[in-house]
Amino acid sequence: MNTFRIGTDEVRRFARDMRAGDRVYLTGTIYTARDAAHKKLFELLDKGESLPFPLKDAVIYYAGPTPAREGEIIGSCGPTTSGRMDRFAPRLYDLGVAATIGKGERSEDVKRAIVENKAVYLCAVGGAGALVSRHIKAAEEIAFPELGCEAIRRMTVEDMPLIVALDCFGGDIFRQGRAQYAINE
């Protein structure tokens, strides 16, 4: 397995070198969006209105951070179960999103979209939101404040630790893990 230390603006370029199971330390700009924010994004898309951030080569983190304590940039910011966004993800990949970050498996439609668009799906460790938040250096709410923790935020991350869960060749760490477990039984 390989390790990549890359900027968010380099994800698309390095996607063809990444394989399921590789480690990624990501630095740069990411955007948070969960279920409610995705619904609002799609309403804007369907109306032909502008979005609060550019989709081309964007990295979307499925997270709804907790409020920051005094003196902190952000509260706990762990990943949300990605399957909840599966109905939205294929279209977003088709519109240029380079990567999504979350936890858990994805649908076959999402896997196809990742392969077709030469993108990746990255996993963050669930249950470790306080640790993930240490890698967030700036956070700004940019859209849908009425959604509270589900508002869209632009965040600057530094060396955010991730694993390539789905690569652009169809590699799937979840499938690989089950196969390895079966061999070791």
pLDDT for residue 181: 58
pLDDT for residue 182: 60
The pTM (predicted TM-score) of the whole model is 0.94
- Is residue 38 a contact partner of residue 85, using CB atoms and an 8 Å limit? yes
Query: Which ranges constitute the DSSP H helices of the chain?
Result: 11-14, 35-47, 89-94, 108-116, 129-133, 173-184
pLDDT for residue 185: 59
**Which one of 12, 34, 38, 103 is the catalytic residue?**
38
- Is residue 55 a contact partner of residue 30, using CB atoms and an 8 Å limit? no
pLDDT for residue 21: 96
| Annotation marks residue 38 as catalytic | yes
CATH of the domain at 35: 3.20.130.10
Residue in the block written with tokens 């789905």 = 166
Longest dimension (CA), the chain: 53
Question: What tens-digit pLDDT sequence spans the chain (185 residues)?
Answer: 899 999 999 999 999 999 999 999 999 999 999 999 999 999 999 999 999 999 999 999 999 999 888 989 999 999 999 999 999 999 999 999 999 999 999 999 999 999 999 999 999 987 778 888 999 999 999 999 999 999 999 999 999 999 999 999 999 998 776 666 565 55
Number of domains the chain contains: 1
Phi, psi of 148 (to 5 degrees): 60, -125
Chain-centroid distance, C-alpha 180: 25
Q: Which domain holds residue 135?
A: 3-184
